[in-house]
C-alpha cells in the first residue's frame, strides 16, 4: 500500500472486512502509513479508531506514523491524545514521538513569548517560568528518558527552547528585584551574572544540559587546561547557548571556591559561501545561525569577546569573566530587602548600637 494508491488500499480494507476477515496490525499500519503520506490525515485517524474498536492493539509504528502526521498538521491535541493511548497500550515514547511532541510544544511556547502572553508567574514571591507548553515539553522529555531512550541533540535543543526566557527589556530588572534587593549600580554595570540562568534561560535548563552531558548527548567540558575549550560546532542553537551558560555557571562556582578563571575559547561551525566577483568566483566564510546566536547571547550578557564568529573561533579573556562575575556597585549603594532580611538588618544595627553605648558608658534610658 502506497501513498499513490491509498484509495485502492481503502477498497482492499473494505473487501477484507466484507468477508469477515480480521485485519492484522501490520496491515492496518500499512494503510495508516499510506493515508498519512497521501495527506489523508483525518482518514488515518478514523482507521486508528477502527483499530481500537476491533481490539487491535496499535504498536510503536502506529503511534510514530500518526504523531508525524499530527506534527505536520501542528495538531497538538491529537498528539497528546495519541500519547495517552500509547501509555494505555504499553507503548513507550520513542525518539520520533518525542521529537514531534516537543516540536509542537516549542512552536506554541515561542508564539506565546512573541505575542507577549504571560509565561512567568510570581508564585511564593519568586518570579519563574510557568508555561503549560514548558511543562508539557518537560513531561514528554522526561517520559522518553524514563523509557530508557537516550534523546539526541535535536530533542534536547527543542526542550531547552521551551525554557528560554522572553527577551523583555524589563525582565532582567524584575529578576534582580526578585533576588530580594534592588541595587543602584554604577553606569554600565551588568548584573546578569547575579541571576540564576543569567537572565537568559530558566535555571532548569542548565540542569538538563548537565544531565545530557552525563548521558553523552553533549560533550563534557574539561576545566583543567587553559584556555577552556567550549566546542559547540555540532550543537543546535538552544543547546549551544545553554552549553555556554553551563560552563559560565561552573566557572562562577570555581571562582567562589578561590580558583583562577582561565581564558575561554569557543569553537563554532565554519560555513562557506561562493560569490561571483569581477575576477571570478570567490569563497568567503560566513557566520551561520549557531554562530550568530552565540555571539548575540554574549552581547546580551555584556561579555566582550575577541575574534570573529565567521571564522569559527572566538575568545573571552578570563580576567573579563572574573570582573563580570563581580560587578561593581556605586558607593554608596542602596538595598531594598525583603521584610525578613530587613528585620535581620535592624536587629544587627540594634545590637551594634547597644555595644557602642556600653563602650562609651552612656547607659541612660533616653
**DSSP annotation of 166:** P
Measured over all CA atoms, what is the biggest interatomic distance in the chain, rounded to whole angstroms? 109
pLDDT of residue 189: 59
Distances, alpha carbon 99 to alpha carbons 44, 130, 155, 333, in Å: 20, 22, 6, 49
Contacts of 353 (CB under 8 A, 6+ apart): none
Q: Which grid cell sits at 92?
A: 513507550
Sign of CA dihedral 299, 301, 306, 309: negative
The contacts of residue 116 (CB under 8 Å, 6+ apart) are 166
Q: Write down the pTM of the prediction.
A: 0.82
Q: Nearest to residue 81, comparing CAs of 45, 53, 112, 56?
A: 45
Eight-state DSSP code of residue 179: T
DSSP state of 5: G
Neighbours of 202 (CB within 10 A): 23
pLDDT in tens, 68-110: 999 999 999 999 999 999 999 999 999 999 999 999 999 999 9
Q: Strand 280-286 relative to strand 228-231: parallel, antiparallel, unpaired?
A: unpaired
Residue 2, pLDDT score: 46
pLDDT at 281: 74
Q: Please provide the DSSP assignment of 183-238 as one string.
A: --BPTT---GGGSGGGGTB-THHHHHHHHHHHTTSSPPPP-SSSSEEEE-TTS-HH
Beta carbons within 10 angstroms of residue 124's beta carbon: 6
Residue 204's closest CA among 246, 237, 251?
246
CA distance 98 to 119: 22
Q: Give yes or no for a contact between 137 and 106, defined as CB atoms under 8 angstroms apart.
A: yes
At 136 the pLDDT is 97
What's the pLDDT at 362? 45
DSSP state at residue 24: P
Positions of the chain with pLDDT lower than 70, given as ranges = 1-4, 15, 18, 124-125, 169, 179-189, 284, 329-366
Q: How many residues does the chain have?
A: 366
d(CA 236, CA 257): 32
Distance between CA atoms of 95 and 2, rounded to whole angstroms? 24
First-to-last C-alpha distance (Å) of the chain: 98
Are 290 and 232 within 8 A, CB to CB? yes
Helices (H), the chain: 6-18, 25-37, 41-53, 60-72, 76-88, 95-114, 132-146, 153-161, 171-177, 204-214, 237-256, 289-301, 318-325, 339-360
> For residue range 295-353, what is the model confidence (pLDDT) as tens digits?
999 999 999 999 998 889 999 999 999 999 988 765 544 444 444 343 344 434 444 54
Residues pairing with 313 in the sheet? 267
Q: Phi, psi (5° rounding) for residue 270?
A: -100, 125
Residue 347: per-residue pLDDT: 39
Q: Among 194, 126, 131, which residue's Cα sits nearest to residue 162?
A: 131
Distance between CA atoms of 106 and 138, rounded to whole angstroms? Answer: 11
Amino acid at each position: 500500500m502506497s501513498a499513490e494508491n491509498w484509495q485502492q488500499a481503502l477498497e482492499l480494507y473494505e473487501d477484507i472486512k466484507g468477508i469477515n476477515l480480521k485485519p492484522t496490525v501490520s496491515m492496518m499500519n500499512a494503510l495508516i502509513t499510506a493515508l498519512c503520506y497521501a495527506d489523508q490525515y483525518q482518514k488515518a485517524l478514523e482507521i486508528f479508531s477502527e483499530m481500537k474498536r476491533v481490539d487491535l492493539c496499535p504498536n510503536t509504528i502506529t503511534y510514530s506514523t500518526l504523531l508525524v502526521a499530527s506534527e505536520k498538521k501542528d495538531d497538538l491535541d491529537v498528539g497528546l491524545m495519541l500519547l495517552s493511548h500509547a501509555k494505555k497500550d504499553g507503548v513507550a515514547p520513542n525518539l520520533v514521538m518525542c521529537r514531534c511532541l516537543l516540536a509542537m510544544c516549542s512552536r506554541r511556547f515561542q508564539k506565546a513569548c512573541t505575542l507577549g502572553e504571560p509565561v512567568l508567574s510570581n508564585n511564593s514571591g519568586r518570579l519563574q517560568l510557568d508555561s503549560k507548553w514548558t511543562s508539557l515539553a518537560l513531561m514528554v522529555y522526561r517520559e522518553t528518558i524514563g523509557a530508557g531512550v537516550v534523546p539526541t541533540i535535536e530533542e534536547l535543543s527543542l526542550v531547552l527552547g521551551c525554557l528560554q526566557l522572553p527577551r523583555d527589556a524589563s525582565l532582567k530588572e524584575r529578576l534582580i528585584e526578585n533576588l530580594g534587593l534592588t541595587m543602584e549600580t554604577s553606569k554600565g554595570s551588568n548584573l546578569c551574572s547575579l541571576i540564576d540562568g543569567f537572565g537568559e534561560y530558566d535555571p532548569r535548563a542548565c540542569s538538563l544540559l548537565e544531565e545530557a552531558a552525563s548521558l553523552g548527548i553533549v560533550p563534557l567540558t574539561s576545566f583543567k587546561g587553559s584556555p577552556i575549550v567550549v566546542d559547540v560546532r555540532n550543537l543546535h542553537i538552544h543547546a549551544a547557548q545553554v552549553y555556554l551558560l553551563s560552563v559560565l555557571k561552573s566557572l562562577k562556582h570555581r571562582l567562589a571556591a578561590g580558583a583562577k578563571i582561565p581564558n575561554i575559547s569557543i569553537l563554532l561551525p565554519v560555513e562557506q559561501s561562493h560569490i561571483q566577483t569581477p575576477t571570478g568566483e570567490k569563497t568567503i566564510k560566513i557566520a551561520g545561525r549557531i554562530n550568530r546566536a552565540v555571539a548575540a547571547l554574549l552581547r546580551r550578557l555584556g561579555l566582550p569577546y575577541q575574534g570573529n564568529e565567521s571564522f569559527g573561533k572566538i575568545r573571552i579573556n578570563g580576567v573579563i569573566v572574573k570582573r563580570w562575575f563581580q560587578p561593581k556597585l556605586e558607593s554608596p549603594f542602596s538595598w531594598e530587602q525583603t521584610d525578613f532580611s530587613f528585620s535581620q538588618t535592624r536587629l544587627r544595627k540594634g545590637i551594634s548600637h547597644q555595644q557602642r553605648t556600653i563602650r562609651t558608658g552612656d547607659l541612660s534610658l533616653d
